Amino acid sequence: MYLGPHIALFTIKAMQCGRVDLKSAPYDTIQLKRGPSWLDRDCHEYGDPVFPLSHGLRVPLSSILPQVQVEAILWGVGTALGELPPYFISRAARMSGSNLDAMEELDASSDGDSGIIAARLKAIKHWLLNHSQHLNFFTILVLASVPNPLFDLAGIMCGQFGVPFWKFFLATLIGKAIVKTHIQTVFIISVCNNQLLNWMENELIWVLGLVPGFNSALPDLTAKLREMKEKYMAPAPPASADIKVKKWDFSFTGIWNTVVWLMLLNFFFKIVNATAQMYLKKQQEKELAALTNRASASTHSD
């Protein structure tokens, strides 16, 4: 929700301006009530392009990647920290001697789930549960590096089966903050700076060149495609100061801050609820033990 649009917008801006020195600070991105300084600035304010346009490519991936690495790595660290609550809750349940509800629901999952995707996810969950004894550092690293919706389950199992904290956290941190982050970042940059699209275009032209009758039409088709890309990547004319408006603060920033606060409040209420349930359970266990002792004492006295 945050990292993808940020990298895409910066890459498109760098391609339009033909340079990467757009940021006013190393961490120049959406922050609370303000957006990045480079988003609404005209390319003419930065000067002439540093990278010349060549075959639809202007700014290479190797130049854009360092400009967005700080935000990407910090985002990865945040996602790694977000995997700790399932681990700690599962470990606390294991230390208290109780079975985790998520593990019981997995074992007693209903047969009413229909659909290919639901069946496939259920099969993967059961496979993870049956191979939980193989949750070593490398396995956790692989699960954290690949975008998947099952890593919460892996964190639950790591806590339930006593995987040490530092083994779980370091593998998760490396997988999410380094491996997964750079996979996603490189892919988004490759799409937005036309490298991947240019490769697909070349492959398509090569395939069409093998078809009889297309050889004569390929030069015109290639010229039109490149003309369209150059028109798209051309910087917009400078806007007048009286008509320039700030739209980022109203739209994306407000939505993002609302989502973040809702997530934090939800996490806080979950912690309070889990703590209250644990306290109530201990009180009930104490009362039950006291009643048992009284009953046994009265039985012996009789």
d(CA 198, CA 62): 16
**Do 63 and 201 belong to one domain?**
yes
Helices (H) and strands (E) in the chain, counts: 12, 0
Cα angle, residue 171 at apex, residues 166 and 177 outer, rounded to 5°: 115
Q: What domain count does the chain have?
A: 3
- What's residue 264's pLDDT? 62
* pLDDT value for 173: 93
Rounded average pLDDT over 42-54 = 78
- Tell me, what amino acid is at 259? V
Pull the structure tokens for residue 273. 């609820």
Is 49 or 150 the better-scoring residue by pLDDT? Answer: 49
Backbone CA torsion sign across 284, 287, 293, 295:
negative
In percent, the amount of the chain with pLDDT more than 70 equals: 57
- The pLDDT value recorded for residue 228 is 64
Shared-domain flag, residues 88 and 206: no
Which pLDDT band, with edges at 50, 70 and 90, does 247 fall under? very low
Query: Nearest-CA neighbor of 68 among 149, 141, 8?
Result: 8
177 has pLDDT over 80: yes
Confidence at residue 29, expressed as pLDDT on a 0 to 100 scale: 77
How confident is the model over 71-125, as pLDDT tens digits?
A: 899 989 988 888 888 788 778 777 665 544 545 555 555 455 556 666 665 666 5
Average pLDDT over residues 34-57: 75
Average pLDDT over residues 148-154: 66
Name which of 114-123, 258-267, 268-277 the model is least confident about: 114-123
In terms of domains, do 75 and 184 share one?
yes
Alpha-carbon distance of 10 to 290, in angstroms, equals 65
Residue 112: which domain range?
A: 84-176
Q: How many residues does the chain have?
A: 302
Residue 241 has pLDDT above 50, yes or no: no
State the pLDDT at residue 259: 67
> End of a domain among 156, 176, 196?
176
Q: Does residue 217 share a domain with residue 195?
A: yes
Look at residues 176, 193, 227 and tell me which one is the last residue of a structural domain: 176
Residues 73 and 131 grouped into a single domain:
no
The mean pLDDT of the chain is 73
Q: What are phi and psi of 54, to 5 degrees?
A: -140, 110
Which of 69-78, 112-121, 206-215, 274-283 has maximum average pLDDT?
69-78
Confidence of residue 262 (pLDDT cuts 50, 70, 90): confident
Give the pLDDT of residue 113: 54
Structure tokens of 86? 């399932």
| Same-domain check for residues 7 and 59 | yes
Q: Are residues 70 and 205 in the same domain?
A: yes
Find where tokens 């889990």 sit. Answer: 274
Residue whose tokens read 């007693």: 108
Is the pLDDT score of 151 beyond 90? no
Same domain, 108 and 236: no
Query: Same domain for 195 and 74?
Result: yes
**Mean per-residue pLDDT for 130-139?**
68
Query: 3-class SS at 104?
Result: helix
User: Which carries the bigger pLDDT value, residue 171 or residue 290?
Assistant: 171
Identity of the residue numbered 129: L
Kindly state the average pLDDT of the residues 62-68: 88
Phi first, then psi: give them for residue 115, nearest 5 degrees.
105, 150
With cut-offs at 50, 70 and 90, classify the pLDDT of residue 285: confident
Residue 275 pLDDT exceeds 50: yes
Calculate mean pLDDT across residues 39-43.
81
Looking at residues 30-38, what average pLDDT do you find? Answer: 73
Amino acid 200: pLDDT: 66
Say whether both 167 and 209 belong to one domain.
Answer: no
Final residue belonging to a domain, choices 176, 210, 226: 176
d(CA 291, CA 199): 75
Question: In terms of domains, do 59 and 115 share one?
Answer: no
Q: Check whether 198 has a pLDDT greater than 90.
A: no
Do residues 68 and 118 share a domain? Answer: no
